[in-house]
A and B are shown apart, each in its own frame.
Chain A
C-alpha cells in the first residue's frame, strides 16, 4: 500500500478506526509499561472480522525470505535480526544505539536507527484530557514513542502513515449504539 507522510504540526492522523494524536512536549510519557511487539511487529490494533492489523514493522529486522512483509504468507513470517538470530519478543536495542549516537553527536541513518515503542500510560492520557485535547480517556490504546527515525503504521486495507520521531497518543474510535457507545470494530 502507498505511504503518506504525516507532519504533526498539521493536526492529527487517522488510519481507519485509529487516531494518532501528537502529544505536546509539556506532557511526559512514562516508558514503563510497554506493549511488546510480536514477531517484529508492533501491533496497535487488530480487526476482529478482517484480521487486519494496524501495525508497525520494527526497523532493525530483516526478513529471511523476501516479500514476507506482513507475515501472512506461509511459514508464519518469522523474522530474524541482522545476526540471523530468531527474535521472539526480545527487547530491542535500537533505542540504546540511538541514544548513544545522540550523545556522541553522530549523524546516523534514520532507517537503521528508528525505533518505536508503545506504552500504556494512563497518566499521560489523563494529562491530554486535562489539556483539552481529548474529551474522554477510555479510548486510549497507548502512547507511541518514535525515536531515531521515521516509522510507518501499516494496514492491509489502508495506506500507510509515516510518522516522524515524536510521541503520539493512539486511540480507538467508538460509535453510538442506541443508549450505549461501542468500539468501532472491523
Chain B
C-alpha cells in the first residue's frame, strides 16, 4: 500500500474549487439526457453492482412521470395477476408466486447500486488517507456542493415521510385515475401495453420471471406513449396537482445532484488513493450514470430514469427560487414552485393578485404566511390594516414588535419576531404570528410556548 496521504499540496488545494465547479455545473445542468445513453449507463450500473440487468430501462420526462409509470405498472400487475389467470409452477403456491411478482416492483435496489458503493469507497479511502484529511476535503467539497445541489434542490423536490407518502401516492393516485379516467381506462391501457389480449399475453409469462418478461413485452416505448397520452389529461384534471405534493419514493438516485460525494471520492483518487478494481468499476459506472441521467428509480427488473429539469432557478444563496414561475421545471410541464428554498403552492407565485391581507391572515402555516407577506409587502400590509405598535423590545440584538391591526373592524394583535439564524446572505426572516395574551413581546412569546413569563429567559435562540 502506498504511503498514507496526510497533506494537500498547493496544487491539490487549487484543484478543489475547479472540481467543485465542474460537478456543480453538472448538477445544475438542464440539457436533455440522451435516452439510449441513459439506458446503457443504467445497465452498466446494475452490472457493476453485481446485479442482473433490468429487463427494461424506461426513460421519462420527470420524476413525477417515473412515479406515475411505476404506479401504472405496479397496479397493472396487482390487478391483472389474479390467481385464476396465472400459470404457477408446481414448486410454488399461487400466493408465493404473487408475492414474488410484487417484490419485483416493490423492492428498490438502492442498497446494491449505491450504498454498497459508498461503503466500499469509504473503507478503501480510510485506509489510505488520514481521517483529518478526509474531513478537510469533505469540508471544502462536501458542504459547498451538497447544500445547493442536494439539500436545497433535491431536498425540496422530495416530500418528507417517504414511505408513507409513497403509499399515499399510490393509493390516491390510483383513486384519481379510477375516478377520472373511468372504465375505459383499462381497455386503453391494455391496448397500449400489449396490443393483444391480456390473457394471451400473461399466460406464457407466468411461471418465468414475470416482470422481466412483461417488460420485454411492453417495452419502454409503450410506457412512453402511455405517458404522453395521459399527461395532458392529468394536467387538465388536476391529478398532478393533487399528487404532486406527495412526490416521494423509497429510493431515488438523484443523478448529478449527488455530486457532493462523487466529487469527494474523485478528488481522493486524484490525490493518489487507489480503489480496488471492483470498487473502481462500480464508481465509474455510478459517475457515468450521474453524468448521463436524471433521477433514477431502480427496481430488480425495471428502472425508471427521469430526464434532467428543463429549468432550474436559484437565488443568490443557491436555493430554489423563482418569483415568476416554477423554480424547477421539467420538460413535461411538471415542476415545483419555490421561494428562497421553501416549496410553495403555485398560486403564490403565478397568481400574485390573489394574495390579499385576508388570504394572508387565513394562511395557517407560518412559513407560507411569511412568504405571502414577503411577496405582498409587509409595509403595504401594515398600511392596509392600519397597524400600530403596541410594544417592542430587543433580544439577542433582534427587535420584536407587538402590533395591533384592524381586521373586519376588530383589533387583532400580531407578534413580529425575527429568525434566530441568519440566512446565507446575512438577512433574517421575519415571522408574524397571532399574538398570545400579553402586553409585551416578552409575555406574548412566553405565552406562545406555554412558559411562565416570570421564568421565560431565552438563553439560546436559533
Contacts and interface: CB of A to CB of B under 8 A. Distances in A.
Interface residues of A, number: 65
Which one of A7, A51, A78, A161 has the highest number of Cβ atoms from chain B below 10 Å of its Cβ?
A51
B47 to A, nearest CB: 19
Contact residues on B (Cβ < 8 Å of other chain), bracket: 35 or more
B132 interface: no
A139 B342 contact: no
B401 interface: no
A156 interface: yes
Nearest to B342: A50
A135 B447 contact: yes
B197 interface: no
A92 to B, nearest CB: 21
Q: Is chain B's binding surface mostly helix, strand, loop or mixed?
A: mixed
Contacts of B383: none
Interface in A148-186: 155-161, 171-178, 181-182, 184-186
A51 to B, nearest CB: 4
Contact of B110 (A1, A75, A137): A75
Contact of A73 (B160, B254, B462): B254
A70 interface: yes
Contacts of A105: none
A14 B413 CA distance: 22
A176 B154 contact: no
Contacts of B161: 46
Contacts of A132: 452, 454-455
Interface in B424-462: 433-436, 446-452, 454-462
Given A19-B451, A74-B252, A75-B114, A158 B434 contact: no
- Closest 4 pairs (CB-CB, A-B): A65-B118, A11-B457, A176-B434, A51-B160
Interface of A: 1-2, 4-8, 10-17, 19, 21, 46-51, 53, 64-68, 70, 72-76, 78, 84, 132-139, 155-161, 171-178, 181-182, 184-186
Interface of B: 110-111, 114-115, 117-119, 121-122, 134, 138, 142, 146, 150-151, 154-156, 158-162, 250-254, 258, 260-261, 264, 341-344, 364-368, 412-413, 415, 419-421, 433-436, 446-452, 454-462
